[in-house]
Amino acid sequence: MKILLTGAKGMLGTDVAERLTDLGIDFLGIDKEELDITNETAVNSYITEYRPSVIIHCAAYTAVDLAETERELAYKINVDGTKNIAQAAADTNARLLYISTDYVFDGQNSEPYEVESLCKPINWYGYTKHKGEEAVAEYLSEYFIIRTSWLFGRNGNNFIKTMLKLAETRDEISVVCDQTGSPTFTVDLAVLLCDIAQSDKCGKYHVTNEGFCSWAELAQEIMNIRNRPCKVNFITTEQYPTKAQRPKNSRLSKRSLDENGFMRLPDWKDALERYLSR
């Protein structure tokens, strides 16, 4: 097996690269310095020369609020870039593992979303990621689409780092309590991504750490684990307006993992404790 990993310097890509190294798998990790995925000719040439058996596509535009004003750039990277990767994968008979998001859903469901639930994004980032999914399915017959949510990892910024930083100078913070989902540790996610990439069980999967919480409950757990005296005030989405709308229900069903014999990830609280212990 020979794997090409895009976005290798990102939060998730860093941990995927480390996992592939631990497994002794032949892979090449690249980032924007090595390849501009929005350049169709460059992508086709690069992938044709390397000829991977699987491409793990972690490269993406992920600034959710900024995407509302940088729409063209977000589309260019998440849609056009993914199209280029998918086309080149098809031309070289490579499978493609595409990282997507809970934000492809509108959050109006009362139950966790299944992999075949209707996609109806309510922000531009989610829209571009959904269009990326469509591009993968259009160009390839063998692919993996992995939707995940609320990522945190050692590399780059995340919600946990932000909360701890705020707690250094504030006695209390206000955090949204009516958006529910699953915090996901990139180290745990990387393990399962590599397992899926090595399989022939193509299709769509929802992969997050187990359990659900709100952002406010996550913030409270962070303070508890770190013994920070900072009080967390629970507020509504309407009390904390942002440029991009967020789905209130980001809960994802893991039925597809169960049906295909993949192990679920550990509980989010366990993941959070391991992350903070580092």
193-247 pLDDT tens trace: 999 999 999 999 999 999 999 999 999 999 999 999 999 999 999 999 999 999 9
Q: Which domain holds residue 102?
A: 2-157+183-209+251-266
Domain assignment of residue 46, yes or no: yes
What are the tens digits of pLDDT across the range 66-96? Answer: 999 999 999 999 999 999 999 999 999 999 9
Examine residue 174 and state whether it is found in any structural domain, yes or no. Answer: no
The answer as to whether 239 is a domain residue is no
Nearest Cα to Cα of residue 147 among 74, 243, 250: 250
178 occurs within a structural domain: no
Mean pLDDT of 253-263: 98
Alpha-carbon span 115 to 133, nearest angstrom: 12
Q: What is the pLDDT of residues 132-176, one digit of tens each?
A: 999 999 999 999 999 999 999 999 899 999 999 999 999 999 999
Nearest alpha carbon to residue 252 among 131, 119, 160, 148: 148
Residue 238 lies in a domain: no
Confidence tier at 278 by pLDDT (50, 70, 90): confident
The stretches of the chain forming alpha helices (DSSP H) are 11-23, 40-50, 71-75, 81-91, 124-139, 159-167, 186-197, 215-226, 255-259, 268-277
Count of other CB atoms within 10 angstroms of residue 78: 29
The verdict on residue 99 lying in a domain is: yes
Tokens of 121: 């994004």
Q: Is residue 276 part of a domain?
A: no
Domain count of the fold of the chain: 1
DSSP 132: H
CATH of the domain at 44: 3.40.50.720
- First and final C-alpha spacing in the chain: 32
User: For residue 229, how many other CB atoms are within 10 A of its CB?
Assistant: 8
The catalytic residue positions are 125
Q: Does residue 243 sit within a domain?
A: no
pTM (predicted TM-score): 0.97
**47: amino acid identity, one letter:** I
